[in-house]
Structure 1
């Protein structure tokens, strides 16, 4: 470049009298308006478009901030800069200052996620791991603070540069929030809306401290290992069942299957015997029970073959979260033990016991623990 070209370039920059920024990108947050030696002509025009804010910086100090509009740069429109420069009676020569244009529109659909699984201590399932991801939206609400604290002297600051910091902040605060929520593990995936609002409230002060407003925060998914998910589904189904009704239903189905078993004489005999008994009972009901009926030897034999009533099942009460629960029968208590609702240290009580006793010390319940040792053989 020749001497004439250098002089021409210097003069073209020195006498620029319009300061503006046309943003042709969708990711620029801050753009510094470049001029030769940062010189601005007196009475120059400043054009700030919608979605922008212009910030003047003098020797590292925040000066004047301009919202959308057109301005003539003089001592009246630059009160803070005039004070910093010591202009008492106006000025005619160019002055030096850095001009930054800040994009204030909403930056949407920014991604976040947990890099490592979060370990939680669930009351029923013990230590479990979850992951989460989602989106967030932000905008600059304090351009001066944002430039001083974050941008510095960067002449073209994009949202990619700030996103890594914001995603780390979000992951940290999300981990703290879900840890303090102390929810049952299955509710994290079912209450993403409420959890999103809580996380947004927790994170907002952190964003504000650097001049950023967290406008939206969404948790799109909370995931966990497949084996844990299956275990939660199984537990949920069992928790909704009436175990006593289920036991009665299965018993009835077993009796029905035995009675209709064509390949077994015992099943046929039982079905025939129950038929005779039902016929006799219906006959007695029709005669009002006042007439005596002649019982054939075969019917008598079938009546004798009818088993006596089943003994009443032992009912157990157990302690859960400091409160009495139950009663449940032996099989129901076995299921609760298998699902870790109760454990070997859980207090239980049944009729005939003087005091509540831990499960592992009740003789018939020791079978839950497994690995029982048989007594020594007789000599």
Structure 2
């Protein structure tokens, strides 16, 4: 009876794996040299698991989540490899691996060494970045062949360092190729993350893995660059530097006026402070007025050097022969002899003709319109009238 129980104990009737950890990727079902799987034994593959049977170093049957009865119909590859249908009527010997296909989330990545980047505004920079990612086994057979081989136990820690190296390398390439200004990187985390994830997924697929999520939490600039950005921000917040200096000078005058120090030392200090403050205000006024007045003077000079187009009334620089808006000629000519006129004369210096249209005939006294060469009433010449 004892021998019968011993033999019965060597035949496995149920093959399964209950994962009691969060980091195990591969689990080899434990079997001793004397243990064998009984024909018609039950195989239980739980959700997020894949079971692979390996016979004498060759991958045989692969089982997705579900419950299976192990016999020749459910194991065609192993049956063909071992021919146990004819040699073994009650049991067979094989290795069984369970691969965990769930997502391994909240995996940390970060740059061990700074990323060198050439920035158009700040020059060569050294950046550091970190974030999180999630991955899982996509192809269990490829993962078995390329990564864990015949190991009995395989965890995330066994491959995490290699995956981090792939991620940092890909992130470096993505940032360099994107050519995003360093000051704008924070606004592009999602875009860089999506581009990086696609490239990482291609590299992970070689190992039967896929990256299901990738996030950049921060890309930090060198401390010196951050200080320069802070100073620039402060200057932008101050606004007009000239007015700010005027305000500072006024505040200094008020403080000097409120100084109650007495004696000659106090008077001397007050005079010195007054002279210093006066110089400060002069410098501030010069700093404020010089650029603004230059702009104003340039604007006034520009306005004085312009004339009005007689056709479209557009302001045109003097000396221009044609209006840039309507194309009309800006050269004034005599309405009688077409001689070029300078200034705004009432009579042509060449022919003496009046430059206003219409007039009164000097012979008959009748008025006429337009610019006729002869009076329409008496026929007298109008040139020179």
Q: TM-score range by the shorter chain?
A: 0.5 to 0.7
Shift of 1:311: 6.5
Distance between the aligned counterparts of 1:132 and 1:9, measured in 2?
A: 61
Q: 1:34 aligns with which of 23, 30, 34?
A: 30
Aligned to 2:100: 103
Aligned to 1:151: 148
Distance between the aligned counterparts of 2:244 and 2:11, measured in 1?
A: 94
Structure 1 residue matching 2:12: 3-state secondary structure: coil
Matched, 1:209 2:206: yes
Superposed CA deviations along residues 178-199 of structure 1, whole A, max 9, x for unmatched, are 1112111122234323322222
Aligned to 2:67: 70
Distance between the aligned counterparts of 1:78 and 1:117, measured in 2?
A: 52
Aligned to 2:130: 133
Aligned to 1:19: 15
Structure 2 residue matching 1:134: 3-state secondary structure: strand
Structure 1 residue matching 2:207: 3-state secondary structure: coil
Q: 1:259 to 1:225 in 2, by over 3 A?
A: closer
Matched, 1:85 2:78: no
Aligned to 2:116: 119
Shift of 1:106: 1.5
Superposed CA deviations along residues 300-329 of structure 1, whole A, max 9, x for unmatched, are xxxxxxxxxx6776979xxxxxxxxxx9xx
Distance between the aligned counterparts of 2:290 and 2:189, measured in 1?
A: 50
The count of corresponding residues between Structure 1 and Structure 2 is: 272
Contact 2:238 / 2:244 at 8 angstroms: preserved in 1? no
Distance between the aligned counterparts of 1:31 and 1:19, measured in 2?
A: 12
Aligned to 1:167: 164
Shift of 1:167: 1.0
Q: 1:200 to 1:9 in 2, by over 3 A?
A: farther
Shift of 1:12: 5.5
Contact 1:10 / 1:36 at 8 angstroms: preserved in 2? no
Aligned to 2:232: 235
Distance between the aligned counterparts of 1:65 and 1:97, measured in 2?
A: 13
Distance between the aligned counterparts of 2:247 and 2:232, measured in 1?
A: 25
TM-score, with normalisation over the residues of structure 2? 0.61
Q: 2:242 aligns with which of 244, 247, 253?
A: 247
Q: Which of 1 and 2 has greater Rg? A: 2
Shift of 1:95: 2.5
Aligned to 1:296: none
Aligned-residue CA RMSD (Å): 3.7
TM-score, with normalisation over the residues of structure 1? 0.62
Distance between the aligned counterparts of 2:176 and 2:118, measured in 1?
A: 9
